[in-house]
Amino acid sequence: MKKLMDKYISEVDATISHAITTSDLGTNLEESMTYSLTAGGKRIRPVLLLLTLDMLTNDYKKGLAPALGVEMIHTYSLIHDDLPAMDNDDYRRGKLTNHKVYGEWKAILAGDALLTKAFEVVSHDDSLTDSVKIKLIKRLSSASGHIGMVGGQTLDMQSENTSIDVTTLEQIHRAKTGALISFAVMGAVDIAQPDETVARALSDYSDHIGLMFQIKDDLLDVYGDEQKLGKSVGSDIENDKSTYVSLLGLEGAEQKLQYHTDAAYNCLAQLPDQYDTSALKYIIELFINRES
Amino acid sequence: MKKLMDKYISEVDATISHAITTSDLGTNLEESMTYSLTAGGKRIRPVLLLLTLDMLTNDYKKGLAPALGVEMIHTYSLIHDDLPAMDNDDYRRGKLTNHKVYGEWKAILAGDALLTKAFEVVSHDDSLTDSVKIKLIKRLSSASGHIGMVGGQTLDMQSENTSIDVTTLEQIHRAKTGALISFAVMGAVDIAQPDETVARALSDYSDHIGLMFQIKDDLLDVYGDEQKLGKSVGSDIENDKSTYVSLLGLEGAEQKLQYHTDAAYNCLAQLPDQYDTSALKYIIELFINRES
């Protein structure tokens, strides 16, 4: 399964490497876009989309454009989140952040251009029908806009140094990170168009793994390995940030992680036998066991 | 004609007023998006789209979603351009800029959300076929991304305090402002799908009026009325910015404006008699005679 993952990661990396063609404007904007796109991302979202599509249709190739699109949107969000006006981070995954290399104004523009490019890439894909492309663009824009990722980031920033409850914390994470993870799974559903019951089970699955991802993130900030994480641990406590651990305790957070893990497996168990769910099960394991 | 313009402006304003529905995340992100969307923009791009569509089909209503989309993208670009890391402007059209009211991080996010919303709005419009929507999204993403508006802004920022030639200046303006003005005209073409010769004449028209718009901008910075402009004149000279006036002199810039004016009229003269070009002629006059 690790091999299959690596194959998809290579495929995504290859697609990304020639995704940003240089314009004739003679700036290094494209270089700065590519810098962040190739700065060691784990490709979770695109790989999840391809694995889900492969399970549903045995043909993951049709998922490459939306896979690239969601990775571009994820990447732009990191560039903007790292800006001095937001989290003011100098490093990400052990590399200098975009604005530390290219300067602040270009980092803002590189983010804007990547966000725009995501929709360009999906709209230009020749292997998908216009109807499917519109479904994908509807879902991707909702997932990443003011009711999705950007809205979640806003609520997260606004909640800094204030005390929030678990309901609000889940609201933040469903919007901020869950929405794009959910897009990855449901984008594949848009392409494959399986039965409504299959779509619903996968939608629930994507919701549970999205929350798992975030709970694990909070746990890693407590007991993670700084070297493997590529960032310092304990920063949530230091920044007085509400997390699953701060609100529920270490044990409570572990229990919640277990709850969503069981629920995610349960969603996969509901799928008809025709579907080989081993890859999506592997994603669950990966989300529980990840060290970075 | 002024009345017709005002009618379209009202229609666009009405569409905008309920375009941003509040999410249940409980932040004022949507308020900040709407603040800039309703901060006194002249609605040139959406009105141009509706007028062109009306000329081609006598049915402008199908243009409302892309008209709204292009205005959202124009608005987000102003929010980001005004940021401290870019032009660092406190006022625009006599009102405080977004980041002066809502703070820098929220202004970045409001811009991101408006850009995303533009694609959401076009993809969700029920009056257009999926095929037309994809055409529009292809055109809008190209016009506003790294080979279009964002690319032009990058080259513009990079050219500050350096000496550039007229060719580079035109490259900047074709990308930075021309591309969205061109989208307005050609978005209507995507919807109406007229003959190829009509499409080509309108594409040339949009290119000429886009450059007219910018040359006039440079001229207004020399002899404009500060009160009417809502900003101080002479800022280009003060900032040592290359403009049509600085590169060609006042007379040379006026001549270039005249050249593109004649060419724009000429494009309209090539259209078949069935089309009433009076509204698009009015736009030319408006672009020459505008005082703000």
Q: How large a percentage of chain B has pLDDT more than 70? A: 100
Residue A105: C-alpha distances to residues A108, B73, B291 (Å) = 5, 18, 30
Q: Which chain B residues are closer than 8 Å to A80 by Cβ? A: 108-109, 112
Q: Is A95 helix (H, G, I), strand (E, B) or coil?
A: strand
Q: pTM for this structure?
A: 0.97
Q: Is A78 helix (H, G, I), strand (E, B) or coil?
A: helix
- List, for residues B192-202, the tens digit of each pLDDT value: 999 999 999 99
Does the beta-carbon distance from A152 to B25 stay under 8 Å?
yes
Neighbours of B231 (CB within 10 A): 16
Q: Which chain A residues are closer than 8 Å to B104 by Cβ? A: 85
Which member of B129, B150, B155 has the closest CB to residue A116? Answer: B150
Q: Note the pLDDT of residue A235.
A: 78
Q: Note the pLDDT of residue B132.
A: 98
Residue B117's pLDDT band (cuts 50, 70, 90): very high
pLDDT at B230 over 80: no
Q: Note the pLDDT of residue B203.
A: 98
Q: Is A101 helix (H, G, I), strand (E, B) or coil?
A: helix
Helix (H) / strand (E) containing A96: strand A95-96
Q: Note the pLDDT of residue A228.
A: 78
Amino acid at A128: L
Least Cα separation, residue A142 to chain B (angstroms): 7
What is the rounded CA–CA span in Å between residue B52 and residue B279?
8
Does the beta-carbon distance from A109 to B142 stay under 8 Å?
no
Q: Note the pLDDT of residue B193.
A: 98
Does the beta-carbon distance from B141 to A155 stay under 8 Å?
no
Interface test with A, best of B24, B25, B169 (most A CBs within 10 A): B25
Does the beta-carbon distance from B109 to A154 stay under 8 Å?
yes
pLDDT at A272 over 80: yes
Taking all residues of chain A, what is their mean pLDDT, rounded to a whole number? Answer: 95
**Cα angle, residue A248 at apex, residues A242 and A251 outer, rounded to 5°:** 130
Mean pLDDT of B202-228: 93
pLDDT at A26 over 80: yes
Mean pLDDT of A18-29: 91
Q: How large a percentage of chain B has pLDDT more than 90? A: 86
Residue B108's pLDDT band (cuts 50, 70, 90): very high
Residue B179's pLDDT band (cuts 50, 70, 90): very high
Where b means 16+ CB within 10 Å and e means fewer, B140-150 reads bbbbbbbbbbb
- List, for residues A61-95, the tens digit of each pLDDT value: 999 999 999 999 999 999 999 999 999 999 998 89
Does the beta-carbon distance from B29 to A106 stay under 8 Å?
no
Q: What is the ipTM of this complex?
A: 0.96
Domain that holds residue A59: 1-289
Residue A40's pLDDT band (cuts 50, 70, 90): confident
Q: Are B170 and B207 in contact (CB under 8 A)?
A: no
Does the beta-carbon distance from B141 to A134 stay under 8 Å?
no
Alpha helices (H) in chain B, listed in sequence order: 2-17, 29-37, 44-57, 64-81, 98-102, 104-124, 130-144, 149-159, 166-173, 179-192, 196-223, 226-229, 235-238, 244-269, 278-289
- List, for residues A178-211, the tens digit of each pLDDT value: 999 999 999 999 999 999 999 999 999 999 999 9
Q: Note the pLDDT of residue A22.
A: 86
Q: A245-250 long-range contacts, Cβ below 8 Å, gap at least 24?
A: A245/A218, A245/A219, A245/A221, A247/A164, A247/A165, A247/A166, A247/A169, A248/A166, A250/A219, A250/A222
Q: Note the pLDDT of residue A17.
A: 86
Helix (H) / strand (E) containing A187: helix A179-192
pLDDT at B62 over 90: yes
Mean pLDDT of B165-174: 96
A101-110, A239-248, B69-78, B180-189: least confidently modelled range = A239-248
Domain count of the fold of chain B: 1
What φ, ψ does residue A91 adopt, rounded to 5°?
-130, 150
Least Cα separation, residue A34 to chain B (angstroms): 12
Does the beta-carbon distance from A106 to B154 stay under 8 Å?
yes
Q: Note the pLDDT of residue B236.
A: 80
CATH classification of the domain holding A89: 1.10.600.10
Q: Note the pLDDT of residue A91.
A: 93
Interface test with B, best of A30, A129, A150 (most B CBs within 10 A): A150
Name the closest residue on chain A to residue B148, using Cα atoms. A23
Structure tokens at A136: 């994908």
Q: Is B91 helix (H, G, I), strand (E, B) or coil?
A: strand
Q: What is the DSSP letter of B40?
A: -
Structure tokens at B270: 């090539």
Helix (H) / strand (E) containing A228: helix A226-229
